[in-house]
């Protein structure tokens, strides 16, 4: 009697992360990128819009520093409410002429604001090229002094700060739960949109030399923060090669 071979189980394919990016050269004014208008939830990148609105309409505030340097969520939530909740996004998107940015469906979830890589570049261009000097110096000064460890214990040194020299940067993350191990600080080198609100999001953005960079990524559910951070850093290294 012939023996039947045991069926070979084929492992399910591992979903690939979703990534869009834009790199703007401030000298040649050229943009390179992929899926630059794809809407992705902003996570903490929206904190730059919160800072712009606060500075331009209400003036400087001591909470801007922790919100931008260590991505403090409590500071962001307070300023979000005080500046009109989701209307903050509506106003700044119109003022900055953002194409793909939309407020969150739940006004209390500022991290679910929709942005695109193209719009993130536009936000930085606005700060650098159009905003009043006080606004520009405040925001870029804090981003240039962003710390390795965020207030919630996550390590912010992935992406731009791991691949470029002395960038000003703002990171974003969402959907990873609590950090597997607390970040240890050390000095670093000098809406009807089909918006995915479930996949873990990890973003890096900022300026380096004469470029503005935005790398926005979504990862399969269950991806660890450390694995996603390594992916984002590799991609950032590729897209900034010879530019930063």
**Residue 157 within a domain:** yes
- Render pLDDT for 81-140 as a digit per residue (tens, 0 to 9): 999 999 999 999 999 999 999 999 999 999 999 999 999 999 999 999 999 999 999 999
The total number of structural domains that make up the chain: 1
pLDDT at 5 over 60: no
CB–CB of 201/173 below 8 Å?
yes
Q: How many residues does the chain have?
A: 244
pTM of the model: 0.81
Q: What CATH number has the domain bearing residue 198? A: 3.40.710.10
Q: Which domain holds residue 143?
A: 19-239
End-to-end CA distance of the chain: 68
Q: Chain centroid to CA 112: how far?
A: 12
**Residue 214 within a domain:** yes
- Render pLDDT for 50-84 as a digit per residue (tens, 0 to 9): 999 999 999 999 999 999 999 999 999 999 999 99
């Amino acid at each position: 009697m012939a023996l039947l071979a045991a069926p070979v189980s084929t492992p399910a394919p591992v979903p690939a992360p979703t990534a869009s990016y834009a790199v703007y050269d401030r000298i040649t004014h050229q943009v390179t990128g992929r899926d630059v208008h794809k809407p992705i939830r902003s996570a903490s990148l929206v904190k730059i819009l919160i800072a712009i609105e606060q500075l331009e309409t209400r003036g400087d505030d001591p909470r801007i520093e922790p919100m931008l340097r260590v991505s403090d969520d409590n500071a962001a939530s307070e300023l979000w409410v005080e500046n009109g909740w989701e209307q903050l996004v509506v106003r700044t998107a119109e003022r900055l002429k953002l194409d793909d940015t939309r407020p969150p469906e739940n006004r209390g979830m500022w991290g679910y604001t929709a942005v695109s890589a193209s719009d993130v570049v536009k936000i930085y261009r606005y700060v650098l090229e159009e905003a009043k000097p006080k606004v520009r110096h405040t925001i870029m000064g804090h981003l240039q002094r962003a710390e390795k460890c965020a207030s919630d214990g996550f390590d912010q040194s992935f992406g731009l700060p791991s691949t470029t020299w002395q960038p000003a940067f703002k990171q974003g993350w969402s959907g990873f739960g609590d950090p597997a191990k607390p970040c240890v600080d050390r000095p670093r080198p000098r809406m009807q949109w089909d918006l995915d609100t479930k996949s873990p999001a990890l973003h890096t953005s900022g300026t380096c030399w004469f470029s503005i960079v935005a790398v926005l990524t979504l990862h399969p559910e269950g991806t660890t923060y450390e694995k996603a951070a390594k992916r984002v850093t590799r991609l950032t290294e590729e897209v900034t090669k010879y530019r930063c």
